[in-house]
Amino acid sequence: MRSERFVTKGELVISFITPMRTSDPSNIQRIAQMLPRGFEFIVVTTPGGAAHARNIGAATATGDVLVFVDDDVQLETEWNWEEWLTDDWDFAIAALYWPSRSVNVFMMRVESTMLNVLTAVFRYKIFMSGFAAVRRKAFEAVGGYNEHVLFEEHAITLDFYRRRFKGARLPIRVKMLRRWHGWGPHNDVTSRGQRHLPPKPGEILVLRT
């Protein structure tokens, strides 16, 4: 059974979902404070990779709009869901990605620039989970995240486009807090090749921002 509904914008409920390797109270508090007030916030620490954790969070959420936020980013925006939800989109990404001062090295700037050019210039809206929002109907239509591929964000983006779902960029800046290698051959949080067990007690926290 889904948990109590929290905040309704029009007829839509929004749920924020964050996968974490461990339940770090200080990081959970940091993330909650950067999100808009009064919304459902789900933290999943179930092992099995990020895609597996995000799917568990989506199944737990009450929201008609699911927002996936990584635990190693800082989001900068003036939250305005009432306006954003009136736009015609099925999935949405952030407008800009850039490394924070602590990881602002050459390769991070190069990879961030490549990502920003891909989304802004070529208008290919890759569903990067630093910040990624999706209406539940679209998420369920593609079967959620594919837990058996190396890069689940690329896979779900292709699934959205194959089904002709419409993407958008929201005015959100994602500041990355750790080094990221989005174009390399390795993925340290992949669900591929891992056991995808159901969550144990305590591995899902349903909070309110």
191 domain-assigned: no
Q: For residue 185, what pLDDT is reported?
A: 54
Reference 61, options 161, 166, 158, 134; nearest CA is: 134
Q: What angle do CA 72, 30, 107 make, to 5 degrees?
A: 25
CA separation for the pair 209, 100 (Å, rounded): 24
Instruction: Extract the tokens encoding 137.
Output: 């109907």
Residue 121 CB contacts under 8 Å (≥ 6 apart), including other chains:
none
- What 8-state DSSP symbol labels residue 208? E
Looking at the structure of the chain, the number of domains it has is 1
pTM score: 0.92
Q: What token pair was written down for 182? A: 């989005």
Contact 163, 141 (CB under 8 A): yes
User: In whole angstroms, what is the distance from residue 148 CA to residue 197 CA?
Assistant: 14
* CATH code of 28's domain: 3.90.550.10
* pLDDT tens, N- to C-terminus, the chain (209 residues): 333 444 444 445 899 999 998 889 999 999 999 999 999 999 999 999 999 999 999 999 999 999 999 999 999 999 999 999 999 999 999 999 999 999 999 999 999 999 999 999 999 999 998 999 999 999 999 999 999 998 899 999 999 999 999 999 999 999 999 987 665 555 667 888 899 999 999 999 999 98
Q: Which domain holds residue 143?
A: 8-184+202-208
